[in-house]
Amino acid sequence: MTGQPVGAVPILQGRLHPLTLVILLVNSIRNFILPAIIVFMVNKSTGGFILLAFLALTVLQTLTRYFTFTYRIEGGELITRHGILERTERHIPLTRVQDLRIEQGVLHRLLKVVDLHVETAGGKGAEASLSVLSRDEAENLRRAVFEQTRTLAQTTGAGASAPLPTPPDEIVRRLSTRELVLAGLTSNRTASALVVVAVAWQLLDDILPKQVYERLLSTVSSNFERWIEHEGHANWIGIAITAMLVIFLGMIFSVAGSIVLFHGFTLSRRGEDLHRAYGLFTRRASSLPRRRIQLLKVEETWLRRVFGLATLRADTAGSQPANPQENRDGRDVLLPVVRREELETVLPVVFPGVESDPSPWRQVSRRAIRRGTLKGALLCGLFAIAALLFERDVFGLWPLVFIPLVYALNVASYRHLGYALSERFFRTRRGWLSRATHLVPIGNAQTIVLKQTPFDRRHGVMTLVVDTAGQAHTGGGPHIRNVPMADAEAVARVLAQRAAQTRYRW
């Protein structure tokens, strides 16, 4: 590795692996096998012809791609080119590479080859897909990209010309199968199934007086009511068993999903780059320079909190908002499950210096409790009115019983609501049952926004929002309500001024 960042001599060049032919063919056959069969069934001779034509076209396409595709790293860029009639040459500056992913499906694993995807900021999806490469080639390419990036950063930054020796991998966290089972059991799917069933059960069985739901049902269907009267009792048991079955199946699916997706999850660090590798059937590996990470979210759903677990999510500037594929691939989480107390050692790996930069949590205005309670109370009141109209009885006021509970909940969540501003980081946390903590390096703040509704103005508070690049997996980034006006303005100014003093690095 020379220290020269720019030069006409390619540092690394190559082409796709010969097995590309096999993989691409299998993929395209898999894609059109079903329509082909249908066509074949409908009309044998025409169907056969269409099938052959498709096959010939696919083979031609595959051959073209294989024989024309070349890549090279040259002058600080990754250059790919392919095509005969329509030549495409793409230059990707290495300093813009956000994320490098290596994926290996079952067939890939049998043939010992991988797909490599290069992502940059702004692009929709992968900027370049090198499919397929041998495992060694992919590893060489990955290494070359990141070493180039490092030398480039070095020469433009400190002006040092000696290349850094590649530091050894440091394993940050491995997940055992036991932890993945736990992750599956405590996943959102299980939680929501549990909640829905529990609430529905509770509501129907305990809270709603018998006459209410009977009247409700009678308006829906008198037939259904008769059915309830005849087989009502047996029916409840049936529903209960079904519900249990649904939960049980949901749990099994979650656990299986968690293991299949994240089997052998390893988060490691090599120098400035974070690596993740995981997957039971399809192996996935991704590398991202840690300075690309825009913000972190520590997510503790209520079910995970019972077990003292949390999820770590991260966004880079390349993160695509609301891409279901990314969630299916497990790209939305940096660490799917981690014990809460371990975060103290994990966070500094992602954001170095965060451990030596503590700051006390500051609370928002106590009026948050009042406003939250008022909102909840209004909702209870509406329910009470509805119930009263149904019941025509004082007992119809039962929803009002929940008002103290609403108050207690608001007090609890107020206690946990807060923000912290330290020398280099801004943190917010919210939620009581389910919690979310956001951590943003101040240098990554793009805009700081303060909003104030007429109600906010009466209470002398504001909502503080910190906008960063790529808020896809972290749920909209840090925003905090009910901050007293003077505090909000002071914090916003400090954030903006500190951000202005740093250079934003992609």
Partner 1 sequence: MRKTAEPGGADPALVETTDPINQPAPFASFGPAATPDPFTPLDPRVIKLWRLTSLIGLGIPLGGSLIVGLIVGLAAPEVVGWIFLGWSLLAALCGWIIYWYPPRACEAWGYRIDAKVLETRSGIWFRVIKLLPLSRLQHVDLRRGPLERAHGLASLILHTAGTHEATLVIPGLDADEAARLRDRLVAAGGDDAV
CA-to-CA separations, 16 to 2, 3, 81, 142, 164, in angstroms, rounded: 25, 28, 11, 15, 29
- Single out the residue of 92, 102, 448, 480 in contact with partner 1 (rule: CB under 8 A): 448
Residue 478 near partner 1 by CB under 8 A: no
CA-to-CA separations, 471 to 145, 295, 318, 433, in angstroms, rounded: 25, 8, 9, 23
Residue 215 near partner 1 by CB under 8 A: no
Q: How many other CB atoms are there within 10 angstroms of residue 125's CB atom?
A: 12
Provide, rounded to whole angstroms, the least separation between the CB of residue 333 and partner 1: 19
Residue 374 near partner 1 by CB under 8 A: yes
Which tokens go with 473?
């997996």
Residue 455 near partner 1 by CB under 8 A: yes
Provide, rounded to whole angstroms, the least separation between the CB of residue 343 and partner 1: 24
Provide, rounded to whole angstroms, the least separation between the CB of residue 434 and partner 1: 22
Stretch that binds partner 1, among 107-115, 345-353, 366-374, 425-433 (CB under 8 A): 366-374
Residue 1 CA, distance from chain mean position? 35
Residue 209 near partner 1 by CB under 8 A: no
Provide, rounded to whole angstroms, the least separation between the CB of residue 501 and partner 1: 6
What's the alpha-carbon Rg for the chain, to the nearest Å? 28
Stretch that binds partner 1, among 159-167, 213-221, 262-270, 451-459 (CB under 8 A): 451-459
- Single out the residue of 9, 216, 306, 449 in contact with partner 1 (rule: CB under 8 A): 449
Burial 148-173 (b: 16+ CB within 10 A, else e): bbbbbbbbeeeeeeeeeeeeeeeebb
Of 404-433, binders to partner 1 (CB under 8 A) are: 421
Residue 156 near partner 1 by CB under 8 A: no
The secondary structure of residue 153, as a DSSP letter, is H
Q: Calculate ∠ Cα 438-444-449, nearest 5°.
A: 75
Residue 476 near partner 1 by CB under 8 A: yes
Residue 471 near partner 1 by CB under 8 A: yes
Helix axes 403-416, 367-391, angle to 10 degrees: 160
Residue 465 near partner 1 by CB under 8 A: yes
Peptide bond into 132 cis (omega under 30): yes
Of 307-326, binders to partner 1 (CB under 8 A) are: 317, 321
Of 441, 450, 455, nearest to 491 (Cα)?
450
Of 372, 378, 375, nearest to 414 (Cα)?
372
Of 270, 271, 265, nearest to 285 (Cα)?
265
Provide, rounded to whole angstroms, the least separation between the CB of residue 440 and partner 1: 12
- Single out the residue of 370, 376, 400, 409 in contact with partner 1 (rule: CB under 8 A): 370
Provide, rounded to whole angstroms, the least separation between the CB of residue 439 and partner 1: 17
Residue 363 near partner 1 by CB under 8 A: yes
Residue 362 near partner 1 by CB under 8 A: yes
Provide, rounded to whole angstroms, the least separation between the CB of residue 502 and partner 1: 7
Site for partner 1, rule CB under 8 A:
121, 317, 321, 360, 362-367, 370-371, 374, 421, 445-455, 457-460, 462, 465, 467-472, 476-477, 484-487, 489-497, 499-504, 506
